[in-house]
């Protein structure tokens, strides 16, 4: 005596109801994967923009601090710029104090010219700033 026969379900003919069984799941997974990739790219770009703004702000503040101390000597001015840049989350790369060479600079002014560097993951971003005394 044989038991009941179990038959495998027949595949539906193309275009018939039920022919696309599981296709929606595949499309949803593909769309979610694409959305995740786009979101990751946007977040990485936002991190780079934020680090660039941080570097620019730190450079501006460090240049102002150096210009404030420029009359006390280049060494003291650059030490002050270093402290301000580090407090702003950046690293001072170059510091120079000297007479203004730009036509808009006052004739007896000293100019603090700085470059700072900030990191965003593996990227290093540099910003440059100038500030004059007086």
Whether 16 and 82 have beta carbons less than 8 Å apart is answered as no
Total structural domains within the chain: 1
What is the pLDDT confidence band of residue 32, given thresholds at 50, 70 and 90?
Answer: very high
Provide the pLDDT for residue 111: 79
For the cut 70, the answer to whether the pLDDT of residue 36 exceeds it is yes
Which candidate, 111, 128, 133, places its Cα nearest to that of 60? Answer: 128
Whether 90 contacts 53, CB under 8 Å: no
18 falls within a domain: no
CA gap 17, 120 in Å, rounded: 52
Is residue 92 assigned to a domain?
A: yes
Residue 24 belongs to some domain of the structure: no
Q: Are 10 and 21 in contact (CB under 8 A)?
A: no
Contact 131, 58 (CB under 8 A): no
Percent of the chain with pLDDT over 70: 84
Would you state the pLDDT for residue 52? 85
Q: Give pLDDT tens digits for 76-92.
A: 888 998 899 888 888 88
Q: Which domain, by its residues, includes 91?
A: 73-133
The pLDDT value recorded for residue 55 is: 86
The arithmetic mean of pLDDT across residues 13-30, rounded, is 76
Is residue 27 in a domain? no
């Amino acid at each position: 005596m044989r038991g009941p026969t179990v038959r495998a379900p027949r595949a539906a003919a193309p275009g018939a109801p039920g022919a696309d069984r599981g296709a929606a799941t595949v499309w949803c997974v593909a769309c979610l994967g694409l959305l995740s990739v786009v979101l990751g790219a946007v977040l990485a770009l936002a991190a780079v923009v934020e680090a660039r703004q941080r570097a620019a702000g730190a450079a501006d503040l460090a240049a102002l601090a150096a210009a404030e101390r420029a009359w006390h000597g280049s060494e003291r001015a650059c030490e002050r710029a270093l402290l301000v840049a580090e407090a702003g989350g950046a690293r001072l790369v170059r510091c120079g104090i000297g007479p203004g060479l730009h036509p808009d600079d006052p004739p007896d002014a000293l100019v603090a010219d700085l470059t700072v560097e900030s990191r965003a993951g593996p990227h290093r971003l540099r910003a440059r700033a100038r500030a004059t005394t007086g």
